[in-house]
Structure 1
Amino acid sequence: MSQPTLPFASTVDARYDEVVDTDGTLRPAWRALASLALGLTQDELSRVDGEIVRFLADDGVSYARAGDDLQPWQLDPMPFVFDAPGWARLEVGLAQRAELLNALLADLYGPQTVLREGIVPAATVVGHAGFVRAVARAHPASGTPLLLSATDLGRDAAGEWHVLADRVQAPSGLGYAAENRRVISQVLPDLLDEGALHRMDPYFAALRAALIAAAPEGTTHPRIVVMSPGPLSETAFDQAFLATALGFPLVQGSDLVVREGSVWIKPAGWPKRVPTERVDVILRRVDAEWCDPLELRSGSRLGVAGLTEAARRGRVTLVNGLGAGVLENPALMPYLPAVCEHLLGEQLRLPSVPTWWLGDADARGDVLARIEGDDPTLEVRLIDEPRRRLAIPSGELVARVLAEPHRYAAQEQLPLSQVPVWNGGAAASALPVILRGFSVRFGSTYRPLVGGLATVRDAPDAAPRTKDVWVLKADETDPDQGIADVAALPTTRSDPTFAPRALSDMFWTGRYAERTEDLLRLVLATQAALDQPGAYTPARAAESVRVLLASLDALAGRREADPEAEFRSLLLDATRPGSAAHSIARLRDAMEGVRDQLSGDTWRVFSNIERAVRALRSSPHPHRTAESAGRMLASMLSLYGVTANMIRDAGWHMIEAGRYLERGLQLSALLTSTLAISRTPRTDREVLESLLVTAESVVTHRRRYRGSARAADVVELLLLDASNPRSLAFSLATMRGHLAAMPASTGSTRAERLLDHLETELAAIDVADLTAVVGGRRDRLVETLTDVTAQLEQLADAIGHLHFEAGPPAVSMAELSLIELAEVRP
């Protein structure tokens, strides 16, 4: 079968300049902004660039390419600007592209006319991993399987736009585009106002309305969720931003269950408790093959068993449908002009970059000759992995293509248009740019986002740097996004159920926050003791200092003999269990899992901590340790203010329950390590003072007790004083209130019974007997605190079983077969 050829501009190195015309004048889009934009000095651009970095860090914006660690999001201060006429031509092409992809998707999973009539070779579809046979049928469950699409575009040397790739599997970037606009509006408000740009808010309102309208027929109050692979996903921020902006819960596959043919949010204590909240629409950000371990990828831990069947029955709408990934196949691109004429009766407005499917013999011969000639303008990719570059010798590549030609496609490389990028120097660099456009089916038509996400790179494998995309209005009175108004939607109050996984993340958020704070306080108290004259020399340390160092050892183990090196390790080494750095890392992981539930101010905590960490790494001076630890502590304390403003739902109660349970555990460990042995009066006094400082109770003690600190008074204040927020008694009483507020609590659950028992034992303690010294030791105190620790750990387990239990762990079909085989063996 012959493939149609596509016109293509010259492949010489000349690039279309998005700002300056060929005669040296500014292009129309930039003329209105010239006076302000060109007036930005180098100092001003440096300031703006620094503010952008700070704002993005404060919002916790990150991104990771496949296989890499998360890295900070990068935003260039110079926008990518369109005028109204220039955008209008592109907008029409994007809308047609989305409509074409929708029609093709419906055809491939329905009548398959393009395959039967030979318009598209069947091998390009059935041989692609994105074609999900489990949902192919004569009549698709949804008449509009494609609700949201993204298209990557590049402009050639003649200034014509070409489609580089279609992103419809789980299109990402809308959240990043909105974040870019938010940041630029803060750092360049004058330039933004001068431009009369299209605001993005109406587009998110339209997307929200489209998702609600996509619910199965007959649904009165649809429940919509955003399904994420989890906080370690490459675009976790984008997913959380979208969930927050739309007002829909961010869930993971483990939060959902298919029951009686429908999808439900797991309640706390599942499977003992029956789910009550059915999910009607899932905006999925999990690739199709991972969505259902029952019918698709058996080893997946990201999906929901039975989701495919629920979608087939029409009980849940998936956005986009499970089979949408086949449209990301570059082998389809050569045939789209003919497909457009067949399905839409129109000519394709936005041509694809010249592409050849190597399953076609004629195309393969031409491409192989170019590969053997090391043609730098050609790139060969696997049709199943079009985003991965095949960096292998030409001889090996030819052999692979000849072995399985249907698995490969070749694409011409555009000499992409260039834009100015601020590099921190005296002049901007000119770098090639890719534009990602977005389209949503709103009402009966596809609406492209007026704007998008622009990406520039120094090299194909370099980290991406993005730009805000500005589209200037033809008239200031034009409606934003071309949407006059989104009809008001009927609203009802909803108190969403927290899935067990989300409750667990909230609980550990509280625990890690308290663990970090307590260790930082102990580091600061120990550092202060070391700073006393004569307290420490390399040959000898004061006894009180040794006691405090031993307390740190009990909490985090000892890594370094030198105290200063030890403090740095505790603050910087995230691989060291028990260290402040380790707890902060785990805290962030837990909070990323429930990002949609948290205020945006939350992430300033981590950006401030990161600044303190950078300052400590860059300075060898001992005073920097205490200063950085103090800044980290101040940041952790600000987290109290953030959580204090949360709605009092189950998630907030779990954060607070975790915080106070951990406070009890940390306090027990601290009292045990400092008071187990009675020492000289001076040492005891110094240790007790440091203990009170660490427990943030020194002011209360001085107001309440006269004279020097005594062990009995300190133990009473920290263990039994119910009016002291840092005491164990106060922690247990507060925890009781938070647990009672949880939906699964009845007043007689094991967790509540354990808590009652511990409170009863604590109330019966005789402080004088507990702190009595026998043979130089306070063994009674140690025994009591050991028992308290054991009971608190039992309580933590009971809380987990009651509120976080979500049934047995997922087992793949292969593993299940082995288990069944083992059970029948004698």
Structure 2
Amino acid sequence: MSVLRDYAAAVSQPTLPFASAAPRFDEVVDADGTLRPAWQGLATLALGLTREELDRVDGEIARFLADDGVSYARAGAELQPWQLDPMPFVMDAAGWARLDVGLAQRAELLNALLADLYGPQVVLRERIVPAAVVLGHAGFVRAMARAGDDAPPPDLLLSATDLGRDAAGDWHVLADRVQAPSGLGYAAENRRVISQVLPDLLDEGALHRMDPYFAALRAALIAAAPEGVSTPRIVVLSPGPLSETAFDQAFLANALGFPLVQGSDLVVRDGAVWMKPAQWPSRTPRERVDVILRRVDAEWCDPLELRAGSRLGVAGLAEAVRRGRVRVVNGLGAGVLENPALLPYLPAACERLLGEQLRLPSVPAWWLGDDDARAEALPRLDAADPAIEVFDIDDPRRPLAATDPAVRGRIDREPHRFAAVERLHLSQVPVWDAGGAASARPVTLRGFAIRFGSTYRPLVGGLATVRTAPEAAPRTKDVWVLKSDEADPDQGIAEVASLPTTRSDPTLAPRALSDLFWTGRYAERAEDLLRLIIATQAALDQPGAHTAARAAESVRVLLAALDRLAGTRWTDPEAEFRSLLLDASRPGSAAHSIARLRDAMEGVRDQLSGDTWRVFSNIDRAVRALRSAPHPHRTAESAGRMLASMLSLYGVTANMIRDPGWHMMEAGRYLERGLQLTTLLSSALSASRGPRTDREVLESLLLSAESVVTHRRRYRGAMRAADVAELLLLDRGNPRSLAFSLQTLREHLAALPASTGSSRAERLLDQLETGLAEVEVLEMTAVVGGRRERLVEGLESIRAQLEQLSDAIADLHFEAGPPPVSMTELSLVELMGARA
């Protein structure tokens, strides 16, 4: 059966269970039960979508999103997978044209209002907007008000507007998002995924591509540079990988070609903003930042003037903005426009500032600081099913429980702190449910606009979000706006003129270099431990391994090696293996290393290919399979799948540009390989245990070190400890050997900008290579009293030197000195000690 036919029949029968009690405008089905004009052009294919087809598409969508690592988190909640419905939100050209004009005008109005509030304040002086609405709002940044002629007022380059339709089908603005508007990256990702799973339906409608819009945004940011800057340096300022919209930020940075930075990557010096160099503060910054596309709320952007103790911003940023030395997009202080108490005053502000009537009305709202508005709104809050919601003006995203006596007491004491907003009976759309049917759900649309040239250009499309339970992840839809003519230019932009640019090799901040260094280390650590788990499992699965004393001894040797690397938590080997693969809270486990690897890579997501996240998607599938199946064979199978995923990371990173970030990542990988190898050799070869046991241990050791085939070719099947030690320590032709690792590490360190050839890190590496070249394997592996003490001592010395080398790399290439500490975190005793 056709899903859309079933849906059309259902919404036209109000007795059906999911039909809304209140009348709602349906975005797909007209009042007479026929498809709306926008869907009629897609009817041939859309009406052919069956339950089986949509089930398949829904599964593919989930897999594509997981492969791309797309996630989202509500404020204060954990990251959740991004949700995308297979059925798009479709509009025709005529319906969009009216919305397009309204979005452009609203962006222009908000920009004019922002300039006025931080400049002449006409709307306040003429009492068009009550002063308490603005001056009492936390988003009004006094440090940026009337800063003088040299400092341009805060302005809007990018705006987002949340929209909803009422029962009559008329659009209303629910909220404006201009502080750090998010969603463009998610909208583009939705389109990318839908184009892969529903290509025929996509081709049926002539849609506006999104690429020209990102090109226009890039050009607008370049044009926003301070006067006199010909080749501006532009960055995207992020709160970090734990941000609720971290994916959106990284996607935007990648799409625009600008680096994604955190506040700790920047520094203000001589009134300008600079990228921190390696060994900051002992080195002078040389790369100035001219434009900052911020995704950090203004109050967190400057710990000196805005919010003391913030670790997300840059000390002195507000002063650099006032001096006109850097352009922040959107301007610091734009958050005041997100105040719901402004909504009832925007029509009058539009007539005063633009000389026009407001085309796109806001949802009805009341500022409770006004006596008349309060008298009208409060009785409605007492209704059994109130049609309005009340908000703290500083927190417009979470409605308050108006019936709570504590909330009503706050409203009575400080009414100017609150606004009431009418709850719109939103239009509905079909949403594909897990039960295998389409049900009607309310929907909102987020529209976007950028200032391109002399006017604001709305994105032809947007991000549609289905209203769900507050604790659930939002379910979104791709937004399709059909062209009136296939020849119409995409986004209404014929062509973005190419801007004069020069080749840029941007410097990576010390924080990014550190993240990449640990990316290499954690990747190698996880891979090596997975190999050891597989080798130990294989030894345990040998016939008689549980009963024959000698066979059991070889297994105990491998378990002891696992203990050296991750400690022992379970006496049962199977339980131990599962813990090592599943327990991310266990330091040293494969799960822990993979989790830390993911964290490190999230911090440099803009540096990495989108294919990178398929590694974690495949690992997650292996983990789910292991959790759901208690059978012993599943452990080895899941470990093998996880190892295969880790190995695919090599292929992804092999295609990275050979910049300092790549060299630092590879340096971390080969340094960690040396550390893991010395620990493994020390555990496995510390004692001689008899010919058969030694052979089994050596074979497992070679399997763990991925050197079985190389050993067979070198030594024709002979199995001696001295030969294995030589292959894994000294053989420069073996990529898994210590000698090869040190040689490769030298090449990567030499390619880093801060390396001089005589730095401490390079000197320590010289010392290591010299000492290794002097090793006599036969003497080192000689057995005295059943043990190889010289080998153990030599390996422990090498390990200690590798740890010293790691510290030296950090001292040379990462930020020097202690991390910043907020003054509010220092005790009185510490302050007195600092003064002494």
Distance 1:406 1:539 in 2: 81
Matches within 5 A, 1:87-486: 87-137=96-146, 139=149, 141-142=151-152, 145-391=155-401, 393-486=403-496
Give the match's secondary structure for 2:483: coil
Give the match's secondary structure for 1:599: coil
Instruction: Report the equivalent of 2:604.
Output: 594
Distance 2:834 2:234 in 1: 43
Give the CA deviation at 1:143.
6.0
Give the match's secondary structure for 1:389: strand
Q: TM-score, normalised by structure 1?
A: 0.97
Range 374-383 or range 238-247, more displaced: 374-383
Matches within 5 A, 1:620-635: 620-635=630-645
Q: TM-score, normalised by structure 2?
A: 0.96
Are positions 1:518 and 2:518 aligned together? no
Distance 1:666 1:396 in 2: 59
Distance 1:142 1:207 in 2: 20
Distance 2:705 2:166 in 1: 65
Distance 2:666 2:830 in 1: 43
Range 375-384 or range 412-421, more displaced: 375-384
Number of aligned residue pairs: 816
Range 409-418 or range 135-144, more displaced: 135-144
Give the CA deviation at 1:26.
1.1
Instruction: Report the equivalent of 2:791.
Output: 781
Q: Is the 8 A contact 1:401 1:408 kept in 2?
A: yes
Give the CA deviation at 1:403.
1.9
Give the match's secondary structure for 1:469: strand
Instruction: Report the equivalent of 1:3.
Output: none
Instruction: Check 1:697–1:460 CA distance in 2 against 1; reply closer, same or farther (3 A cut).
Output: closer
Q: Deviations over 1:320-368 (max 9, x none)?
A: 0010000000010010011001101111111111111111122223332
Are positions 1:716 and 2:726 aligned together? yes
Q: Is the 8 A contact 1:282 1:316 kept in 2?
A: yes
Distance 1:543 1:347 in 2: 86
Aligned partner of 1:636: which letter?
M
Give the CA deviation at 1:797.
0.4
Give the CA deviation at 1:24.
1.1
Q: 2:744 aligns with which of 727, 734, 752?
A: 734
Give the CA deviation at 1:825.
7.1
Q: Deviations over 1:439-482 (max 9, x none)?
A: 00000000000000000033344320000000000000000000
Distance 2:38 2:454 in 1: 31
Structure 1 residue ranges without an equivalent (≥5): 1-10
Q: Deviations over 1:490-545 (max 9, x none)?
A: 12100000100000000000000000000000000000001001102699971001
Q: 2:29 aligns with which of 1, 16, 20?
A: 20
Instruction: Report the equivalent of 1:636.
Output: 646
Instruction: Report the equivalent of 1:750.
Output: 760
Q: Is the 8 A contact 1:291 1:307 kept in 2?
A: yes
Q: Deviations over 1:674-703 (max 9, x none)?
A: 111111211111000000000001111111
Q: Is the 8 A contact 2:447 2:458 kept in 1?
A: yes
Instruction: Report the equivalent of 2:42.
Output: 33
Q: Deviations over 1:179-230 (max 9, x none)?
A: 0000000111111111100000000000000000000000010110000000
Aligned partner of 1:215: which letter?
A
Distance 2:151 2:159 in 1: 19
Distance 1:586 1:126 in 2: 44
Q: Is the 8 A contact 2:154 2:330 kept in 1?
A: no
Distance 1:673 1:102 in 2: 67
Instruction: Report the equivalent of 2:707.
Output: 697
Give the match's secondary structure for 1:359: coil
Give the match's secondary structure for 1:560: coil
Q: Deviations over 1:586-634 (max 9, x none)?
A: 0011111111111111111111111111111111111111111111101
Instruction: Report the equivalent of 2:670.
Output: 660
Distance 2:538 2:157 in 1: 61
Instruction: Report the equivalent of 1:4.
Output: none
Distance 1:268 1:543 in 2: 49
Instruction: Check 1:140–1:427 CA distance in 2 against 1; reply closer, same or farther (3 A cut).
Output: farther
Instruction: Report the equivalent of 1:561.
Output: 571
Give the CA deviation at 1:107.
0.2
Give the CA deviation at 1:390.
2.3
Distance 2:73 2:149 in 1: 38
Give the match's secondary structure for 2:267: strand
Give the match's secondary structure for 1:349: coil
Q: Is the 8 A contact 1:570 1:580 kept in 2?
A: yes
Distance 1:280 1:53 in 2: 39
Q: Deviations over 1:697-729 (max 9, x none)?
A: 111111111343111111111011111110111
Q: Is the 8 A contact 1:266 1:806 kept in 2?
A: no
Are positions 1:75 and 2:75 aligned together? no
Range 436-445 or range 607-616, more displaced: 607-616
Give the CA deviation at 1:145.
1.0
Give the CA deviation at 1:812.
2.3
Instruction: Report the equivalent of 1:647.
Output: 657
Distance 1:514 1:747 in 2: 26
Are positions 1:51 and 2:60 aligned together? yes
Give the match's secondary structure for 2:255: helix
Instruction: Check 1:541–1:376 CA distance in 2 against 1; reply closer, same or farther (3 A cut).
Output: farther
Distance 1:301 1:116 in 2: 37
Range 436-445 or range 680-689, more displaced: 680-689
- RMSD of aligned alpha carbons: 1.6
Distance 1:479 1:819 in 2: 67
Aligned partner of 1:217: which letter?
E
Structure 2 residue ranges without an equivalent (≥5): 1-19
Distance 1:819 1:249 in 2: 41
Give the match's secondary structure for 2:396: coil
Percent sequence identity is: 81
Q: Is the 8 A contact 1:717 1:727 kept in 2?
A: yes
Range 16-25 or range 363-372, more displaced: 363-372
Aligned partner of 1:136: which letter?
A
Distance 1:242 1:527 in 2: 44
Q: Is the 8 A contact 1:500 1:806 kept in 2?
A: no
Q: Is the 8 A contact 1:372 1:395 kept in 2?
A: no
Q: Is the 8 A contact 2:82 2:473 kept in 1?
A: no
Range 564-573 or range 808-817, more displaced: 808-817
Q: Is the 8 A contact 1:434 1:454 kept in 2?
A: yes
Q: Is the 8 A contact 1:207 1:440 kept in 2?
A: yes
Matches within 5 A, 1:501-516: 501-516=511-526
Aligned partner of 1:70: which letter?
L
Q: Is the 8 A contact 2:111 2:155 kept in 1?
A: yes
Q: 2:72 aligns with which of 63, 73, 89?
A: 63
Range 606-615 or range 364-373, more displaced: 364-373
Q: Is the 8 A contact 2:45 2:201 kept in 1?
A: yes
Q: Deviations over 1:717-770 (max 9, x none)?
A: 101111111011110011011001100000000000000001111111111111
Aligned partner of 1:670: which letter?
L
